[in-house]
Amino acid sequence: MSTSVLYMSMSLDGYVAGLNDEPGNPGGDGFDRLHEWFGDFSRPSGPVGELLDEMHAYGAIVVGRRTAEQIDHWGGDRHGVPIFVPSHRPPGPSVASYPLVTYVADGIESAMAQAKTAAGDRYVLVHGAYTAQRALEAGVLDELVIHQIPVLFGRGRRQFEVLPSRVELEVVRVIDTPEASHIHYRVRR
C-alpha cells in the first residue's frame, strides 16, 4: 500500500510561509529563503541528490485548497500525476479544464484513500499546512520529511499551528548540510 508523505521546508521557529502569503505572493515575503537549499535545481551528488530523487518519485498529490488555488493547481499538471484537493466547496471554473485535478468533498480520509489508490506502489505527496494538520488528526499522514532551514522567520504561517493532540514521531533518517537539516520522520500509531 502507498504511504503519504509531507515534504516541507521550514524555518527553525516552525514557519513554512512568510507574511503576506496570498495568491499574488504565494509563500509570502521571504519564502524563497526556505528553498535555497535546492540550489539551482540540478541534481547534486550524494545523500541530498538521493533525497531529491525520492521527493520526485510520488504517484499522486493531496494538496490543500488554499495552496492549490494560489498556484492555480500547477496549471492542471504536476508531473502527470493525479491531484486531489479535499474541500467542502466546489472548485472554481478553471479546474474544469484540468482533468488530473479532483476535488473531494467527503473529507481528508477519502481524499487520501483515493490518492493512495491512484499512486499505486509510489507514495502520496502531501502539500499544505492545514491539510497536513487535518491528515495527522485523521491518522492518514504516514511520514514527514522536514527540511529544517537555519533561519528564524518570527512571523508568518506555521506548519503545525493547531493540532488536536500530541503526535509521536520516530526519526527515520537525518541528512545534515550547511543549507538545511533534512529530517525524515515516521508517524507512530
CATH number of the structural domain spanning residue 61: 3.40.430.10
Nearest alpha carbon to residue 56 among 75, 78, 82:
78
pLDDT reported for residue 169? 97
pLDDT for res 12: 96
Q: Where are the alpha helices (DSSP H) in 56-174?
A: 65-70, 108-119, 129-138
Domain that holds residue 60: 4-187
| Total Cβ atoms within 10 A of residue 45 | 7
Grid cell for residue 82: 493525479
Estimate the crossing angle of helix 108-119 against helix 129-138, to 10 degrees: 90
pLDDT of residue 176: 93
Q: Which of 130, 144, 138, 121 is nearest to 60 (CA)?
A: 121
Q: What does each of the 189 residues of the chain score in pLDDT, given as a tens digit?
A: 799 999 999 999 999 999 998 888 888 999 999 999 877 767 777 887 888 888 889 999 999 999 999 889 999 999 999 999 999 999 989 899 999 999 999 999 999 999 999 999 999 999 999 999 999 999 999 999 999 999 999 999 999 988 888 999 999 999 998 899 999 999 999
Domain count within the chain:
1
Q: How many CA atoms lie within 13 A of 172 on its CB side?
A: 14
Q: Can you read off the three cell numbers belonging to residue 39?
A: 540550489
